[in-house]
Structure 1
């Protein structure tokens, strides 16, 4: 469970043989402060993501493939606030888990699964934007395939559960060990460095590499389209400019000075002629206008996605690095204070995400 108690041993019953450094129980003043801050975070996360979820229920315009992936991320963040952090409040304040072993395992499983699903949802959002920019025809064909959208979202949750869920539920049975006191609620694998490194690879390193790949490809594709559009515009202006359209009334006479034998000037009447300007766009101009709008939309979407991804990476990188280091060195080389700060950054991600959604869709 990625909470403030995940790597902290509290209370007088903490095992002295535990390989992790024992952290003293926080003072009552600190407990009160943490409780207030955690409660505030829960309110912000739950309210912010509830608004997003409610918007999907009320506004049918939001129900597109791309926005459903945002909804999936919002559900993850909602569960983080409503379950993971909210249940950690009495645990933080009392220093003891008093809800029983079954709820402890369920809490740990939900906590790890939802945070992993959050990472996978960001990858799915980036993949969808990658298809929109780089594989536009395929992306358009997927818009009406709601079953595929539902399958993608379901796979996110299944894979997220498989990373930590079985281990969180069955670790004691598999290993036959329990190094934690009865009033503590922690994942049994928290001390197993090779499991932590493997799981961190699946829930952070691989998503990070995927995000880097998709966003780099999006950026390069937009640059290529921008250059192509610039070159096309340059080639159009380099052509000989056509004479501006104009209109002549009927019976207009063009006079050409001609001198007869007597020296008189004659006017040669032209045939009735009327030239009008055609205001309709040519197919080439129409396609160029559409391409320009598509490029502008892609740029805006890429910028909003880049912000969403950057916030995710910024919030999760400190925690993921510290937890791996702490697992390898058995908790002695990383002070709990720094890990505590890293966990707060993780919480902040669930608070910030709902604020970023309007950048992805103006109807939010």
Structure 2
């Protein structure tokens, strides 16, 4: 972390690393006010947006499906980022001194690293869940009621997120035998250990990004194959594509069905058949076949349309995830390798805030891409308007 010292009117910022003043940049007081407003706004957006997701999950029982539990886990991690991590950092960045003690510093660092990492792992888990819902739809729907599996995966996310950075933050100085953090500053002991940061970044960003990209590419290819297959199935058959025996057999089956069913249909109804449902069931095997075929095609088209919307939303998720995390990860490794001499600190600070911005964007990207969450939000935010609306359609499987 940087050490910031602000004057009253013309604000001067001194960046200090390991107790050595590196450079100073003057900021006018209006700029400082704008920065404070932006920080507070980010806190409010992060807390309120993710709190709305959590409250909607609690109030609407229809949201309590296995796939939505992972969205809840993401909202919890992002909510804690806005409620605990950012507010503690704002006084530190404005005063330039950490005044809460070394113990609180380590606790805050553990929380910050763990929550940001948990947010990333939750994104991977959500993408993997969507991958299964599209590529293995039958077995996926059969497991929707198994919430124990979902809770186990959610707990694994938190355990892995803590193990990635937590032990290093807590015990690095005891293993190395000395502390590199000056008094009144708060940053991790591995701040300049590029080899550790490279390994941790591989697990925190590069591997998750490759996994999320793979899942979304697989979803896109699966939808593309299904769309092509659907076009072939619904296209008008050409005469040369049908074998003569197959065409004659289909025409014969149709004539047998029509000639054998229709007379029985008329006889049953003319003889005073009172049970209309029984009469219609005896008369309509051919029409039932056509109706079943149309119903199957309609269901397939509906699922294909839902999966296409899902693929588009996941593509946006991958792009936002890359934009928010790639700059910080790359600059963090470069800065550690050159001991902070080749990267201006304000650029690192900008990329650092991008990580927290991702926690404010997630409530817009994930739940709002789902019709069931939008319906729950409308019910919470506009209860009177919602009561006057007609009953909603059944929620989509995704």
State the TM-score bracket (shorter-chain normalisation): 0.7 to 0.9
1:146-177 alpha-carbon deviations (Å, 9 max, x no partner)? 11000001101100111001111111111122
After the TM superposition, which of the residue ranges 21-30 and 88-97 deviates more from structure 2?
21-30
After the TM superposition, which of the residue ranges 78-87 and 287-296 deviates more from structure 2?
287-296
- 1:167 counterpart residue number: 168
Structure 1 residues 163 and 180: CA distance shift in structure 2, 3 A? same
- 1:292 counterpart residue number: 301
Aligned with residue 305 of structure 1, among 297, 314, 339 = 314
1:329 equivalenced with 2:338 (yes/no): yes
- 2:22 counterpart residue number: 22
1:216-261 alpha-carbon deviations (Å, 9 max, x no partner)? 1111111111111111112557678989x9x99x9xxxxxxxxxxx
User: Aligned partners of 2:65, 2:284: CA distance in 1, in Å?
Assistant: 45
What does 1:317-356 align with in structure 2 at a 5 Å threshold?
A: 317-356=326-365
- 1:206 counterpart residue number: 207
Shift of 1:69: 0.8
- 2:380 counterpart residue number: none
**Larger Cα-atom Rg:** 1
| Gap runs ≥5 in structure 2 | 7-13, 267-282, 375-398
- 1:99 counterpart residue number: 100
Aligned with residue 359 of structure 1, among 335, 353, 369 = 369
- 2:127 counterpart residue number: 126
User: Aligned partners of 1:176, 1:33: CA distance in 2, in Å?
Assistant: 42
8 Å contact 1:197–1:324 — kept in the other structure?
Answer: yes
Shift of 1:202: 0.6
User: Aligned partners of 1:291, 1:198: CA distance in 2, in Å?
Assistant: 44
Task: Report the aligned-residue RMSD.
Answer: 3.0
Structure 1 residues 101 and 212: CA distance shift in structure 2, 3 A? same
Structure 1 residues 291 and 92: CA distance shift in structure 2, 3 A? same
Shift of 1:358: 1.3
Shift of 1:9: 3.5
8 Å contact 1:80–1:115 — kept in the other structure?
Answer: yes
Aligned with residue 323 of structure 2, among 294, 314, 330 = 314
Structure 1 residues 167 and 28: CA distance shift in structure 2, 3 A? farther
User: Aligned partners of 2:17, 2:232: CA distance in 1, in Å?
Assistant: 70
User: Aligned partners of 1:101, 1:65: CA distance in 2, in Å?
Assistant: 40
User: Aligned partners of 2:22, 2:62: CA distance in 1, in Å?
Assistant: 53
1:67 equivalenced with 2:68 (yes/no): yes
User: Aligned partners of 2:26, 2:154: CA distance in 1, in Å?
Assistant: 40
1:285-331 alpha-carbon deviations (Å, 9 max, x no partner)? 33222222221111111211222222111111111111111111111
Paired positions, count? 334
Q: Secondary structure at the match of 1:22?
A: strand
8 Å contact 1:319–1:339 — kept in the other structure?
Answer: yes
Query: In proportion to residue count, which structure has more helix?
Result: 2
After the TM superposition, which of the residue ranges 146-155 and 229-238 deviates more from structure 2?
229-238
Aligned with residue 283 of structure 1, among 274, 287, 292 = 292
Structure 1 residues 136 and 93: CA distance shift in structure 2, 3 A? same
User: Aligned partners of 1:165, 1:294: CA distance in 2, in Å?
Assistant: 42
User: Aligned partners of 2:219, 2:211: CA distance in 1, in Å?
Assistant: 12
User: Aligned partners of 1:46, 1:82: CA distance in 2, in Å?
Assistant: 6
Shift of 1:33: 3.6
Q: Secondary structure at the match of 1:190?
A: coil
User: Aligned partners of 2:125, 2:211: CA distance in 1, in Å?
Assistant: 10
Structure 1 residues 178 and 10: CA distance shift in structure 2, 3 A? farther
8 Å contact 2:53–2:363 — kept in the other structure?
Answer: yes
User: Aligned partners of 2:368, 2:18: CA distance in 1, in Å?
Assistant: 47
User: Aligned partners of 1:228, 1:214: CA distance in 2, in Å?
Assistant: 21
